[in-house]
A and B are shown apart, each in its own frame.
Chain A
């Protein structure tokens, strides 16, 4: 599952732009992921410039998310 470190987020929307299933929502000062829709592709984890997002599933965990 993708985990959000909300206190780090700058709400830039970079992750939203790459999400293939459009499951991330970024408001003025809030970010949410619809986990039922998320396919755990981890692309949002890779693109985040400040490491707000991480993959909690260790089996799936990539070098970026570790």
Chain B
């Protein structure tokens, strides 16, 4: 029983995909793990478009049909002038049902031996001699303190755990995407296609998505850059206008809002007794806003390092640094390239976007791809072409 246990090898703050993946891998490595989630449910509310690639998911798990609302093999782009461009994706993707997916990830962690507690809100760290040695918070109205050799900040967009420890996780205004999404039904959609609407009128500095969850149901959402949100029109107004125009008769099943940090990954991901993973470490792909797979990947790498450090020398910054290095080796370089691409494309005007849509529309359909699309998009800034080539071809 977690309440009777004063000390753990690892305490994970946050029960999203990154936190649960860390908890599973660390527990499989023989560590005692306590995972604390502040909400009453793992996986709810779902603050997410729920899109993942098949290849990304397979790094961790064989895709379970229970998790999958739709399988996607085609993409549609709608330009500001309403030019529509479609093409097949080279690799398939999924729209998940994260209520089920996140639950299962937590169950895997539990099956591996981790203890999971919901309604456990952390509001501070125990720091001794500049080392993080535990957390303090409230569980259903009762104060508690727990000590751990390693505290893991998996606290998502907020990322307060890192800040309490002195790491700079604050997201700049221009690097925050302000999002809102409605899960709607009573509409007709192509259940195998991602729809992206690109325009300053729909979602300035971001995009609007229609991600199907069946033939008559979809996640319809958008995110606007904080850079444009400063102009005074909040995200919900953009979505209301779009829904009134495109899907006026949709029934809304869920409305959620949320911030997507499209920032560079934090410079320092570890310190003595502390690791940051997932959105809290700013691992979200800055171009797509996708955070599930990079979050799980960082959780996996961090847990592998945590296990090694506790078996050999203790959780010092030096011994936890291999995680930081592994992240930069596997995902980090591409992350920086994606960040540079994002820095250019989030300033595109509607004329730029129309030009890009015309460019890809002129390519025969079997020659269209995301690489081709971004190559056309980057043509105004040739130095970016190298980044585009590298992230899409793995050179």
Option from B123, B157, B180, B257 in Cβ contact (under 8 Å) with A17:
B157
Select from chain B the residue with minimum beta-carbon distance to A48: B234
Chain A 1-35 interface residues, beta-carbon cutoff 8 Å to B: 10, 12-20, 22, 25-28
**On chain B, which size bracket covers the interface?**
35 or more
Contact A47 B226 (CB under 8 A): yes
B45: A residues at CB distance < 8 A: 10
A39 CB–B CB distance under 8 Å: no
Contact A49 B173 (CB under 8 A): no
Contact A28 B236 (CB under 8 A): no
A51 CB–B CB distance under 8 Å: yes
B123: A residues at CB distance < 8 A: 25
Given contacts A18-B170, A28-B38, contact A49 B179 (CB under 8 A): yes
A63 CB–B CB distance under 8 Å: yes
Q: Report the minimal beta-carbon distance from B168 to chain A, rounded to whole angstroms.
A: 10
Instruction: Tell me the dominant secondary structure on chain A's binding face.
Output: loop
CA distance A23 to B255 in the complex (A): 26
Contact B257 A47 (CB under 8 A): no
Q: Report the minimal beta-carbon distance from A23 to chain B, rounded to whole angstroms.
A: 11
B179: A residues at CB distance < 8 A: 14, 49
Give per-residue flags for B164-178: 1 if the beta carbon is below 8 A from chain A beta carbons, else 0.
100001111100101
Given contacts A47-B226, A50-B180, contact A12 B259 (CB under 8 A): yes
CA distance A16 to B160 in the complex (A): 8
Given contacts A27-B121, A47-B173, contact A10 B158 (CB under 8 A): no
Contact A17 B236 (CB under 8 A): no
A63: B residues at CB distance < 8 A: 231-232
B119: A residues at CB distance < 8 A: 28
Q: Report the minimal beta-carbon distance from A9 to chain B, rounded to whole angstroms.
A: 9
Option from B173, B180, B232, B256 in Cβ contact (under 8 Å) with A43:
B173
Select from chain A the residue with minimum beta-carbon distance to B180: A49
Given contacts A17-B170, A27-B38, contact A47 B258 (CB under 8 A): no
Chain B 236-275 interface residues, beta-carbon cutoff 8 Å to A: 236, 255-259, 261
With a 10 A CB-CB cut-off, give which of A19, A43, A46 has the most chain B CB atoms: A46
Select from chain A the residue with minimum beta-carbon distance to B159: A17
B231: A residues at CB distance < 8 A: 63-64
> Which 7 A-B pairs rank lowest in CB-CB distance, beginning with the nearest?
A14-B259, A49-B235, A63-B232, A16-B158, A13-B158, A49-B257, A64-B232
Can you give 6 A-B contacts (C-beta < 8 A)?
A12-B157, A14-B176, A17-B157, A28-B39, A49-B235, A62-B232
